[in-house]
Amino acid sequence: KAILIIQASTTIDGLKFSGAKVADSNGAGIRYEGGSLTILNSAFEKNENGILGQGSLSDTISITDSVFDSNGSFANGCGHNVYIGTMGKLIFKHSKSIDSRDQSHTLKSRALLNEITDSFFSTRNSDGSYELDFPNGGDVTLTNNVIEQGPLTGNGVVISYGEEGNPNPTPRFTATGNIFNNLNSTGSFIRMQGASFLNIQGNTFIGGGIILLGGTTDLSKNRNLPASVLDAYKIGNLLDRLTTNG
């Protein structure tokens, strides 16, 4: 069911996982089944799932300086670049998750606590779905990321939070210092359901669509720019740095 199955605390450094495919179309580069997992300097390419699994509420997955590219499978409708089930904490930093395929997500997490920092998410060149999906809510912090949705997406939402309810404790959503780029003319950057605390400040939103669908918070400290400025704006040094990572 996977190239590598993890069932205890493990550190992975400098490995490449490619081409995982099984009969039920749910193969994974890594199938995670428990323990705290650290992934460093690794790549996941063209698997049915990049990483798939869940752990206990005391477990943490930490992913740093790694790349997830062109994972996903339409056959079972569940394949994603990164799919983390119910568990304690996900840390995703200075990494890329791009071009998830066949209506899959670049990152989907049901973890209670999610910290996503200095990373790049994009379906610019694929037919992926959500860039970030937190279907059970939880505590989500997005800081200094570049998040863009391509024109071939199967939905008009860039980030989805709580669409399956909010069983996770601490329903909080914080987004600061991020750059969001919507390559579609319409849609929603953030679709929010059930967060009791919202903090969306200091972000730049480029392209079509409304910033927030559902939920209420002060959005006045964000910038909303038309798609026509994108070439001149260049998404700054952050995008240049992140797109060369890995």
Buried b (16+ CB within 10 A) or exposed e, 33-59: ebbbbebeebbbbbbbbbbbbbbeeeb
| Distance, CA of 158 to CA of 237 (rounded, Å) | 22
Reported residue count of the chain is: 246
Q: What is the pLDDT of residue 184?
A: 86
Using the predicted structure, report yes or no on whether residue 38 has a pLDDT greater than 70.
yes
The more confidently predicted of residues 239 and 63 is: 63
Using the predicted structure, report yes or no on whether residue 37 has a pLDDT greater than 50.
yes
Buried b (16+ CB within 10 A) or exposed e, 200-209: beebbbbbbb
Using the predicted structure, report yes or no on whether residue 246 has a pLDDT greater than 60.
no
pLDDT band at 90 (very low <50, low <70, confident <90, very high): very high
The pLDDT of 86-111, averaged and rounded, is 95
Q: What is the pLDDT of residue 232?
A: 45
* pTM of the full structure: 0.93
The pLDDT of 174-188, averaged and rounded, is 92
User: Tens digits of per-residue pLDDT, 130-169?
Assistant: 999 999 999 999 999 999 999 998 888 999 999 999 899 8
Q: What percent of the chain has pLDDT over 70?
A: 90
